[in-house]
Amino acid sequence: MRVLVVEDEKELAEMLRRGLTAEGYVVDVAHDGHLGLQLALTDTYAVIVLDLMLPVLNGYKVCERMREADVRTPVLILTAKAGEYDQTDALDGGADDFLSKPFSYPVLLARLRALLRRGASTLVQELVVGDLVLDTARHACRRAGRAVELTPREFALVEVLARRPGETVSKHEILLQAWPGETEDVNLVEVRISALRRKIDQPFNRRSVRTVRGVGYQLVDDR
């Protein structure tokens, strides 16, 4: 599960990255609002931890522009600005929760879990790329109306690709998102891509799983 931390205090950001990684999350970090916004708009996260007082673009603007772009990822504001109006402005700007610095780390984790539970009901449960359909709630796959049996690891792999149809996803990204903490061997990605092709492409005479040589893989509508 991916988390984005947007925090300009580098020691705090690193502490959050290490702590959340130890909890099983895959963590990206941005130290300014512009980079944080770009990541929020281009990548898929389960939750975002966002400071308000950021260089380049403040947290209020980051949150507002995310919502204007229809990015519905839950946002936890984490800031030293604890005034009543600061909280009101952040929540009115699209944030989902507010935690003041200094904070209790167990409370932070509890707030994140609550946001994840709340956000789970709004996540897209069916991913469609051409005639390939993934039901993420049931871990079921269909192509051209026919059921395709996938292992849990194969399903995790194709889900990563299906959430970014037509985009090139690197082997390293696949490792982090599909099987966090399982392995550092990128060659394993090639092996599982080959197995996936034998199940979702070859029986249907398709080439929807594409290799971008030297970069990664794409899932495309090849009808």
> For residue 2, what pLDDT is reported?
86
> For residue 17, what pLDDT is reported?
92
- Mean pLDDT of the 150-170 span: 89
- Residue 100's pLDDT band (boundaries 50, 70, 90)? confident
DSSP 67-110: HHTT----EEEEES---HHHHHHHHHTT-SEEEESS--HHHHHH
Same fold, 2-120 and 126-219: no
pLDDT surpassing 70 at residue 192: yes
Report the CATH architecture of 126-219.
Orthogonal Bundle (1.10)
> For residue 51, what pLDDT is reported?
93
- Mean pLDDT of the 102-127 span: 77
Tokens of 51: 């400071």
Query: Does the domain at residues 2-120 carry the CATH identifier 3.40.50.2300?
Result: yes
Q: What is the pTM of this model?
A: 0.56
User: What percent of the chain has pLDDT above 70?
Assistant: 92
User: What percent of the chain has pLDDT above 90?
Assistant: 48
| Contact between residue 145 and residue 130 where contact means Cβ atoms under 8 Å apart | no
| Contact between residue 1 and residue 116 where contact means Cβ atoms under 8 Å apart | yes
Pick from 41, 55, 1: nearest CA to 177 = 1
**Cα–Cα distances in Å, from 114 out to 34, 118, 172, 211?**
27, 6, 29, 38
Separation CA 104–CA 22 (nearest Å): 17
Task: Give the residue carrying structure tokens 């925090």.
Answer: 7
**What pLDDT digit, counting tens, does each position of 13-71 carry?**
999 999 998 888 889 999 999 999 999 998 888 899 999 999 999 999 999 999 888 88
> For residue 125, what pLDDT is reported?
66
> For residue 99, what pLDDT is reported?
87
Separation CA 113–CA 198 (nearest Å): 37
pLDDT surpassing 60 at residue 3: yes
> For residue 184, what pLDDT is reported?
60
> For residue 34, what pLDDT is reported?
95
- Mean pLDDT of the 144-149 span: 94
Separation CA 194–CA 4 (nearest Å): 31
Q: What does the mean pLDDT of the chain come to?
A: 87
- Mean pLDDT of the 149-168 span: 90
> For residue 114, what pLDDT is reported?
85
Strands 26-30, 2-6: parallel, antiparallel or unpaired by DSSP? parallel
- Residue 92's pLDDT band (boundaries 50, 70, 90)? confident
Map out the domains of the chain as residue ranges. Answer: 2-120, 126-219
pLDDT surpassing 80 at residue 110: yes
Separation CA 22–CA 78 (nearest Å): 20
Q: How far is CA 33 from the centre of its chain?
A: 18
> For residue 162, what pLDDT is reported?
92
Strands 216-219, 126-129: parallel, antiparallel or unpaired by DSSP? unpaired
CA angle 118, 120, 122 (to 5 degrees): 90
> For residue 182, what pLDDT is reported?
58
